[in-house]
Each structure stands twice: as C-alpha cells, then as structure tokens.
Amino acid sequence: MKNINVCTHTHIHMGSVPATSWVLVLVFSQVSTHTTSFPPTSCSAACLCLSQTQVLCNSGGLHEIPLKLLPPTVEQLSLTRNDFRIIKSDSFAGLRFLKKLSMDGNNISLIKPFAFRGLPRLRDLSIQHTPLETVAPFAFAGLQNITSILLSYNKIKKVESYAFAGIVNLRQLVLAHNPLIKLDSNAFTGMTEIERIVLPSGIRHLEPDCFNGMDTLGHLQLAYMDLPGLRAGIFRGLTNVNYLSIQESDLGTIDGDAFNDMTFVKNLNILNNKIDSIQFLNFTWEQRIGHLRFQGNHILEIPKAETLLVEVDKLTVIQNHFPCDCRIHSLLDGPLANGSMLHFISRNYCISPLEVNGMPMNTIDIDSIGRCQEEVTKGNLEAIKDITNTSAQRIHTFCAYINLLFYFFKLFRIT
Ligand SMILES: *[C@@H]1O[C@H](CO)[C@@H](O)[C@H](O)[C@H]1NC(C)=O
Ligand SMILES: *[C@@H]1O[C@H](CO)[C@@H](O)[C@H](O)[C@H]1NC(C)=O
Ligand SMILES: *[C@@H]1O[C@H](CO)[C@@H](O)[C@H](O)[C@H]1NC(C)=O
Ligand SMILES: *[C@@H]1O[C@H](CO)[C@@H](O)[C@H](O)[C@H]1NC(C)=O
Ligand SMILES: *[C@@H]1O[C@H](CO)[C@@H](O)[C@H](O)[C@H]1NC(C)=O
C-alpha cells in the first residue's frame, strides 16, 4: 500500500485528474496490495504500475510512448489523455505480453504503417476521442491476435484501401461517431473472421469492392446512409454473411448488378429506406440468399415487372409504400407479391397519388386504376401474335393492326 501511495502522490498531478480516476486509483491500490511487490523504478515518472502486468499512464503529459520504462511483462496498458500525436512504426515493439491497450483521448493525428507491430498477443485496442482523420494503409498490420479495435468518436473521414490489412483475426471493428463519408475499395480487405462492423451514420459513397475480401461476416448493418445509388460491385466479395441490413437510408437508384456478386447471405434486410427507383433487382438461386426482408421502404417508382428476379428461400415484403399508379398491376402480378396479392395489398401502402398517401392498398379500388399504356400496347402486340398464327383469322389481324395504328397515331399526337 505504501509503495502505491508514494507513486500516486508524486507522479500524478491531482489538479488535472477527474475525481473518478481517483476512485479508480484507490480501488486499484487496494487490489494491488495483494500482489507481489516489485521495484517501483520499473515504472516511468508518468505511470502507475499496479503490478508487473498492469500499468496506467493516464493524463501523464507524455509526448512519446514510454517504451523503455515499461515492464516488458505488461499485459494491460492504459495511455489515455496524454499528448501522443504521431504513432510511429513499431512504437510498441517488445511488449510481447501486451493484451489490452488504450490510447483514448490523445492528440493522435497519424498512425504510421505497422505502428503496432511486435504485439503478438494484443487482443483489444482502443483509440477513441482523438482527432485522427485517416486510417492509413497497414496502420494495424502485424497484429496477429487482435480481436477488437474501437475507433469511435474520432474525426475519421477516410478509411483507405488496405487500412485493416494484415489482421486476420479481427472480430469486431467499431467506427461509430466519425465523420466518415466514403468507403474506399478494399477498405476492409483482409478481415477474414470479422463478426461485427459498426459504421457511422452519414456515409455518402460506397466504392465498388469496399467490402471485398471479407470471407465470413457475422453482422453488418449499414444505416443512415445518403447514397446516390446502389451501384455494381458494392457488395462484391461478400460471401457467408449471416446478417446484412441496409436500413434507414436514402438508397437513390438500385442498379441491376448491385447485389449480383453477393453469395450465401442468410438474412438480407432492406428496411425503412427511401428508394427512388429500382432499375433491376436481381437475386438468383446461385447466390443462395436465405431470407430477404423488404420492409418499411418508400419506393418512389414501381419497378417494371421484367426487371425483378427474386429467387430467395424466403421473402417478406411488408409495410412498404409504393405509388398506386398504373404500374401497380404489374407489381401485384410480379415476384414481390409472389402470387399472394391479397396478402400483399393488406400489408403494403400507397405513397401516391396524394389523396391515397399512407392508405393500405386494400382500402383503395385497385381495379379502377388503369393499366399503363406500355402494358396495354404489349398486351395488344401479344394478342396480335396469337391471332396471326391462325390463317383463318387474318381479317381480325388486319383490324387489330388498324386499331394499333390508330393507337400509335393517337399516342404520337398526344406526346
Ligand atoms: C493537444 O494539442 C493541443 C495543441 O495542439 C494542446 O493544447 C492540448 O493540450 C493537447 N491535448 C492533450 C490532451 O495533450
Ligand atoms: C492468440 O489468442 C489465442 C486465444 O486467446 C491464444 O490461444 C493464442 O496463444 C494467442 N496467440 C499468441 C501468439 O499469443
Ligand atoms: C441477373 O443475374 C443473372 C445471373 O447472375 C445475370 O446473368 C444477369 O445478367 C443479371 N441481370 C442483371 C440486369 O444484372
Ligand atoms: C412464393 O409462393 C410460393 C407459393 O405460395 C411458396 O411456395 C414460396 O415459398 C414463395 N416464395 C418465397 C420466396 O417466399
Ligand atoms: C401457332 O399455333 C400452334 C398451334 O396452336 C402452335 O403449336 C405454334 O407454336 C404457334 N406458333 C407460334 C409462332 O406461336
């Protein structure tokens, strides 16, 4: 007890330490009375060595990592609220037993490649509440056994390609509360065991291949994005996903091949988004999508029936808002309704025209909504094809052609 008290009183400036830290220090002091004694000289001036394995250097005014002054046996090291600005390559080399490292509340603006090399047992790394703006390539490379990296509450605007390369065992990455607006290609490449990624809200650009190279992914939630569209290649390389949710976002236009390269996704949720239009929505059996839940979305334009291919094990389409216009017929005949129109109209709503906005589809008279001209025209053409097949009905064919000509003529004059 005596040793510890000397250490705290001489080396920590009381004025700058919040009361909670003092409570912590007292608690730890009592714990450490039970541990074996060690020479206090093994600790640097700004640190408190609770034991040979646990060292606190919080609010110590440090500018450099006090590497030479730490016991090489340290397993838990806290370096919060110091003044580290640049974490150089190999900053921690030699701390072979370190398992947990916290550098929260520092002035870190740059992490050089391989900054944490030489920490084979490090499992938890926390760098939060810093002005860090960029996660540069290979910043964490060499952390063979890392399972969790917390990077919340920084100023991260950019995660560069290969930022997390070389850390195959990572299970959890938290990037919440950062002003990140763009995910570069290969930003997450190399995380083959990742279970959970938490991204901040407000992402505006997803580059193709931004999730590429993540072989098994437990849980990925993409929320509060503001995208011009979901483009080809965004989800390329995503395989063996247990749960992927795209939610509460403005998705713009969904392109045909946006989901093409995604395979073995157990649960794919598209929830509460605004979708301007769907150019193609393409899920094939080969992709092995388990349950597609399309729920609570506002779709501003009904996709044409022939642009939808939904081959999934289970499909739930509920609480969405669609325009109740001439295309509603093809929607109800199409794969999103999957043959159960009554079920579909009792669980989805109209977004337009204005007078039916928000009303369940089954409260409006759908039969009174005319079919679109394009569908009518197509229907006529098919009818004509059938008729032309039988030579006996040539006269009808002729009439139909005349009708059609008139129809086009009318169209031409109107537009
Ligand atoms: C961070 O740097 C600023 C000046 O750049 C300084 O005023 C401040 O004290 C530093 N913060 C810490 C925790 O050392
Ligand atoms: C990595 O972590 C696992 C599980 O905690 C452990 O068994 C293994 O020894 C660790 N590897 C090293 C190099 O410490
Ligand atoms: C839909 O997927 C199939 C099979 O992957 C592919 O051949 C086709 O080109 C895709 N269509 C679009 C519009 O992407
Ligand atoms: C579509 O409906 C059929 C017939 O009711 C059903 O067997 C099938 O499972 C449904 N498909 C999906 C993806 O829910
Ligand atoms: C014409 O009708 C016959 C018999 O109804 C059918 O076998 C044939 O496939 C049809 N041809 C075309 C071009 O639709």
Write the pLDDT tens digit of every residue in 172-194: 999 999 999 999 998 888 888 88
Residue 84 binned pLDDT confidence (cut-offs 50, 70, 90): very high
Residue 374 in this model has a pLDDT that exceeds 90: no
**58 inside domain:** no
Answer yes or no: do 397 and 318 share one domain.
Answer: no
CA of 229 to the centre of ligand 4 (A): 29
User: Which ligand lies nearest to the CA atom of residue 256 in the structure?
Assistant: 3
CA of 124 to the centre of ligand 2 (A): 13
Residue 407: predicted pLDDT: 58
Greater confidence, 405 or 265?
265
Residue 412 in this model has a pLDDT that exceeds 50: yes
Residue 42 binned pLDDT confidence (cut-offs 50, 70, 90): very low
Q: Which domain holds residue 399?
A: 377-414
**34 inside domain:** no
CA of 90 to the centre of ligand 2 (A): 20
Residue of 96, 99, 100, 121 to mutate, ligand 2, most atoms within 8 A of C-beta:
121
Residue 239 in this model has a pLDDT that exceeds 90: no
d(CA 378, CA 45): 84
Residue 198 in this model has a pLDDT that exceeds 80: yes
Stretch 127-152: mean pLDDT: 94
Contacts within 8 Å (CB) and 24+ apart, 11-20? 11/45, 11/46, 11/47, 11/48, 11/60, 12/48, 12/59, 12/60, 13/59, 13/61, 16/59, 17/58, 17/59
Residue of 260, 283, 285, 307 to mutate, ligand 3, most atoms within 8 A of C-beta:
260
Answer yes or no: do 276 and 362 share one domain.
Answer: yes
- pTM score, whole prediction: 0.73
Answer yes or no: do 241 and 348 share one domain.
Answer: yes
Answer yes or no: do 302 and 407 share one domain.
Answer: no
Residue 341: predicted pLDDT: 92
Low-confidence winner among 71-80, 235-244, 358-367, 406-415 (lowest mean pLDDT)? 406-415
CATH number, domain with residue 314:
3.80.10.10
Answer yes or no: do 224 and 339 share one domain.
Answer: yes
**50 inside domain:** no
Whether the ω angle into residue 353 lies within 30 degrees of 0, i.e. cis, is yes
Residue 85 in this model has a pLDDT that exceeds 90: yes
Going by alpha carbons, the residue nearest to atom 1 of ligand 3 is 282
**263 inside domain:** yes
Can you name the residues that pair with 77 across neighbouring β-strands?
55, 101
Residues 332-353 have pLDDT tens digits of 999 999 989 999 999 999 999 9
**398 inside domain:** yes
Answer yes or no: do 367 and 395 share one domain.
Answer: no
Stretch 231-254: mean pLDDT: 92
Answer yes or no: do 352 and 387 share one domain.
Answer: no
Greater confidence, 229 or 10?
229
How many domains are there within the chain? 2
From the CA of 121, give the closest atom in ligand 2: 14
Answer yes or no: do 231 and 249 share one domain.
Answer: yes
Residue 76 has φ and ψ, to the nearest 5°, of -125, 125
CA of 81 to the centre of ligand 5 (A): 81
Residue of 122, 145, 169 to mutate, ligand 2, most atoms within 8 A of C-beta:
145
Going by alpha carbons, the residue nearest to atom 1 of ligand 1 is 107
Residue 29 in this model has a pLDDT that exceeds 50: no
Residue 115 in this model has a pLDDT that exceeds 90: yes
**400 inside domain:** yes
Residue 164 has φ and ψ, to the nearest 5°, of -110, 20
CA of 5 to the centre of ligand 1 (A): 28
**Helix 19-32 with 2-11: angle, nearest 10 deg:** 150
Answer yes or no: do 252 and 343 share one domain.
Answer: yes
Answer yes or no: do 397 and 328 share one domain.
Answer: no
**129 inside domain:** no
Answer yes or no: do 302 and 383 share one domain.
Answer: no
Residue 15 in this model has a pLDDT that exceeds 50: no
**305 inside domain:** yes
Residues 51-68 have pLDDT tens digits of 889 999 998 888 988 888
Residue 322: predicted pLDDT: 96
Answer yes or no: do 283 and 297 share one domain.
Answer: yes
User: Which ligand lies nearest to the CA atom of residue 107 in the structure?
Assistant: 1
Residue 109 in this model has a pLDDT that exceeds 60: yes
Residue 305 binned pLDDT confidence (cut-offs 50, 70, 90): confident
| Neighbouring C-beta atoms of residue 53, cutoff 10 Å | 16
Residue 32: predicted pLDDT: 41
Ligand 1 proximal residues by C-beta, below 6 Å = 81, 83, 107
Residue 410 binned pLDDT confidence (cut-offs 50, 70, 90): low
CA of 338 to the centre of ligand 4 (A): 6
Over the chain, what is the mean pLDDT?
83
Residue 358 in this model has a pLDDT that exceeds 80: yes
Residue 5 in this model has a pLDDT that exceeds 60: no
